[in-house]
Amino acid sequence: MKVYLGLGSNQKPEFHIHQALDALYQQFGVLRISPVYESAAVGFSGDNFLNLVAEITAELSVGELLQTLRNIENQNGRNRAAPRFSGRTLDIDILLYGNAVGVVDGVKLPREEILENAFVLWPLADLAPDLVHPQIKLTMAELWQKYDKSRQRLWPVTFDWTPPVDE
Protein backbone atom coordinates (compact mmCIF):
# COMPACT_ATOMS: atom_id res chain seq x y z
CA MET A 1 0.00 0.00 0.00
CA LYS A 2 1.35 3.42 -0.91
CA VAL A 3 1.32 5.65 2.18
CA TYR A 4 2.18 9.32 2.63
CA LEU A 5 3.52 10.46 6.00
CA GLY A 6 3.95 13.99 7.32
CA LEU A 7 7.05 14.50 9.47
CA GLY A 8 7.78 17.51 11.65
CA SER A 9 10.11 18.59 14.43
CA ASN A 10 11.12 21.79 16.20
CA GLN A 11 13.46 20.37 18.84
CA LYS A 12 16.84 19.50 17.31
CA PRO A 13 14.85 19.15 14.08
CA GLU A 14 17.68 18.18 11.73
CA PHE A 15 18.77 15.40 14.07
CA HIS A 16 15.27 14.03 14.71
CA ILE A 17 14.17 14.18 11.06
CA HIS A 18 17.34 12.28 10.08
CA GLN A 19 16.64 9.70 12.80
CA ALA A 20 13.05 9.30 11.61
CA LEU A 21 14.04 8.88 7.97
CA ASP A 22 16.68 6.31 8.92
CA ALA A 23 14.10 4.37 10.96
CA LEU A 24 11.52 4.52 8.16
CA TYR A 25 14.11 3.31 5.68
CA GLN A 26 15.11 0.42 7.94
CA GLN A 27 11.45 -0.53 8.46
CA PHE A 28 10.03 -0.04 4.96
CA GLY A 29 12.97 0.09 2.56
CA VAL A 30 13.02 2.61 -0.25
CA LEU A 31 11.24 5.85 0.49
CA ARG A 32 10.77 9.05 -1.41
CA ILE A 33 10.91 12.38 0.38
CA SER A 34 9.76 15.87 -0.47
CA PRO A 35 11.86 18.98 -0.07
CA VAL A 36 12.05 20.14 3.55
CA TYR A 37 10.32 23.34 4.61
CA GLU A 38 10.78 25.56 7.64
CA SER A 39 7.84 27.37 9.16
CA ALA A 40 6.85 29.19 12.31
CA ALA A 41 5.01 27.19 14.94
CA VAL A 42 1.23 27.09 14.37
CA GLY A 43 -1.14 27.41 17.33
CA PHE A 44 1.54 28.29 19.90
CA SER A 45 4.70 30.34 20.36
CA GLY A 46 7.79 28.20 19.85
CA ASP A 47 10.82 27.45 17.73
CA ASN A 48 10.39 27.03 13.99
CA PHE A 49 9.51 23.61 12.63
CA LEU A 50 11.04 21.59 9.85
CA ASN A 51 8.45 19.62 7.87
CA LEU A 52 8.44 17.22 4.96
CA VAL A 53 6.41 14.39 3.47
CA ALA A 54 7.69 10.86 2.92
CA GLU A 55 6.19 8.20 0.67
CA ILE A 56 6.54 4.60 1.80
CA THR A 57 5.12 1.26 0.76
CA ALA A 58 3.66 -0.57 3.75
CA GLU A 59 2.00 -3.94 4.09
CA LEU A 60 0.93 -3.15 7.66
CA SER A 61 -2.63 -2.32 8.66
CA VAL A 62 -3.28 1.32 9.57
CA GLY A 63 -3.23 0.38 13.26
CA GLU A 64 0.06 -1.51 12.95
CA LEU A 65 1.57 1.37 10.99
CA LEU A 66 0.39 3.89 13.59
CA GLN A 67 2.04 1.84 16.36
CA THR A 68 5.28 1.61 14.35
CA LEU A 69 5.29 5.39 13.85
CA ARG A 70 4.56 6.02 17.54
CA ASN A 71 7.48 3.76 18.43
CA ILE A 72 9.77 5.86 16.20
CA GLU A 73 8.46 9.04 17.83
CA ASN A 74 9.01 7.55 21.30
CA GLN A 75 12.56 6.49 20.41
CA ASN A 76 13.16 10.15 19.58
CA GLY A 77 11.97 11.42 22.96
CA ARG A 78 8.40 12.37 22.05
CA ASN A 79 6.62 13.68 25.15
CA ARG A 80 3.04 12.42 24.95
CA ALA A 81 2.06 14.35 28.10
CA ALA A 82 2.83 17.71 26.44
CA PRO A 83 -0.07 19.91 25.23
CA ARG A 84 -1.30 19.23 21.69
CA PHE A 85 -0.01 22.58 20.45
CA SER A 86 3.56 22.54 21.74
CA GLY A 87 7.11 21.87 20.64
CA ARG A 88 8.08 18.32 19.84
CA THR A 89 11.10 16.24 19.02
CA LEU A 90 9.23 14.33 16.32
CA ASP A 91 5.74 14.07 14.91
CA ILE A 92 4.87 11.52 12.22
CA ASP A 93 1.32 11.54 10.87
CA ILE A 94 -0.36 9.22 8.38
CA LEU A 95 -1.65 11.63 5.72
CA LEU A 96 -2.90 9.16 3.11
CA TYR A 97 -3.13 5.38 3.21
CA GLY A 98 -3.87 4.40 -0.37
CA ASN A 99 -7.33 5.76 -1.17
CA ALA A 100 -8.74 5.01 2.29
CA VAL A 101 -11.48 7.37 3.43
CA GLY A 102 -13.02 7.38 6.90
CA VAL A 103 -11.83 6.25 10.30
CA VAL A 104 -9.57 3.21 10.02
CA ASP A 105 -8.12 1.70 13.22
CA GLY A 106 -8.86 5.00 14.96
CA VAL A 107 -7.12 7.13 12.31
CA LYS A 108 -9.15 9.62 10.26
CA LEU A 109 -8.14 9.34 6.61
CA PRO A 110 -7.20 11.30 4.65
CA ARG A 111 -5.74 13.57 7.32
CA GLU A 112 -7.49 16.92 7.43
CA GLU A 113 -4.21 18.85 7.73
CA ILE A 114 -3.62 18.20 4.03
CA LEU A 115 -6.21 20.85 3.27
CA GLU A 116 -5.50 23.05 6.29
CA ASN A 117 -1.74 23.49 6.58
CA ALA A 118 0.75 24.69 4.01
CA PHE A 119 3.52 22.75 5.79
CA VAL A 120 1.67 19.55 4.81
CA LEU A 121 0.19 20.44 1.43
CA TRP A 122 3.22 22.13 -0.18
CA PRO A 123 5.64 19.21 0.41
CA LEU A 124 2.92 16.74 -0.58
CA ALA A 125 2.31 18.66 -3.82
CA ASP A 126 6.06 18.68 -4.48
CA LEU A 127 6.42 14.95 -3.90
CA ALA A 128 3.24 13.76 -5.61
CA PRO A 129 1.75 16.58 -7.70
CA ASP A 130 -0.54 14.25 -9.69
CA LEU A 131 -1.82 12.36 -6.64
CA VAL A 132 -5.59 12.82 -6.38
CA HIS A 133 -7.11 13.59 -2.98
CA PRO A 134 -9.57 10.71 -2.45
CA GLN A 135 -12.37 12.98 -1.20
CA ILE A 136 -11.85 16.32 -2.95
CA LYS A 137 -10.96 14.67 -6.31
CA LEU A 138 -8.33 17.31 -7.12
CA THR A 139 -4.61 16.68 -7.49
CA MET A 140 -2.21 17.85 -4.81
CA ALA A 141 -0.81 20.36 -7.33
CA GLU A 142 -4.32 21.74 -7.93
CA LEU A 143 -5.01 21.92 -4.20
CA TRP A 144 -1.72 23.76 -3.62
CA GLN A 145 -2.47 26.16 -6.48
CA LYS A 146 -5.84 27.02 -4.86
CA TYR A 147 -4.45 27.24 -1.31
CA ASP A 148 -4.41 30.72 0.30
CA LYS A 149 -0.66 31.08 0.70
CA SER A 150 -1.04 34.15 2.91
CA ARG A 151 -2.38 31.89 5.70
CA GLN A 152 1.03 30.52 6.65
CA ARG A 153 4.58 31.49 5.78
CA LEU A 154 7.06 28.73 5.06
CA TRP A 155 10.20 28.43 3.00
CA PRO A 156 12.33 25.63 1.57
CA VAL A 157 15.58 24.80 3.38
CA THR A 158 18.62 22.80 2.41
CA PHE A 159 18.42 19.33 3.90
CA ASP A 160 20.51 16.34 2.91
CA TRP A 161 19.59 12.81 3.82
CA THR A 162 21.14 9.64 2.48
CA PRO A 163 19.77 6.20 3.34
CA PRO A 164 21.96 4.42 5.89
CA VAL A 165 24.48 1.95 4.54
CA ASP A 166 23.73 -1.67 5.39
CA GLU A 167 26.51 -3.20 7.40
The answer to whether residue 107 sits within a structural domain is yes
Task: Write b or e for each residue in 7-29: b if 16 or more Cβ atoms lie within 10 A of its Cβ, otherwise e.
Answer: bbbbbebeebbbbbbebbbebbe
Prediction pTM value: 0.93
Q: Is residue 6 part of a domain?
A: yes
Q: Choose, from 22, 32, 80, 93, the residue flagged as catalytic.
A: 93
Single-letter amino acid, residue 153: R
Are the CB atoms for 123 and 50 separated by under 8 Å? no
Distance CA 18, CA 118 (A): 22
**Confidence at residue 84, expressed as pLDDT on a 0 to 100 scale:** 61
Q: Report yes or no on 137 lying in a domain.
A: no
Mean pLDDT along residues 141-148: 97
Look at the chain and report how many structural domains it folds into.
1
Q: How confident is the prediction for the chain on average, in pLDDT?
A: 91
Examine residue 102 and state whether it is found in any structural domain, yes or no: yes
Assess whether pLDDT exceeds 90 at residue 81. Answer: no
Is 88 designated active site?
yes
pLDDT for position 78 = 64
Q: Which of 78, 111, 130, 153 is catalytic?
A: 78
Is the pLDDT at 140 greater than 70? The verdict is yes
- Total residues found in the chain within this entry: 167
Asked if residue 24 is part of any domain, the answer here is yes
Which residue among 47, 70, 88, 105 is the active-site one?
A: 88
Residue 129 lies in a domain: no
148 among known catalytic residues: no
Owning domain of residue 64: 2-111
2-16, 34-48, 66-80: which is most confident: 2-16
Q: What percent of the chain has pLDDT over 90?
A: 78
For 153-167, how does the pLDDT look when each residue is reduced to its tens digit (9 = 90+)?
A: 899 999 999 988 765
> What is the average per-residue pLDDT within 133-162?
95
CATH number, domain with residue 25: 3.30.70.560
In a domain, 141, yes or no: no
Once rounded to an integer, what is the mean pLDDT over residues 24-53? Answer: 91
**Mean pLDDT calculated for residue range 17-30:** 95
Instruction: Give the pLDDT of residue 116.
Output: 94
Q: Kindly tell me if the per-residue pLDDT of 42 is higher than 80.
A: no
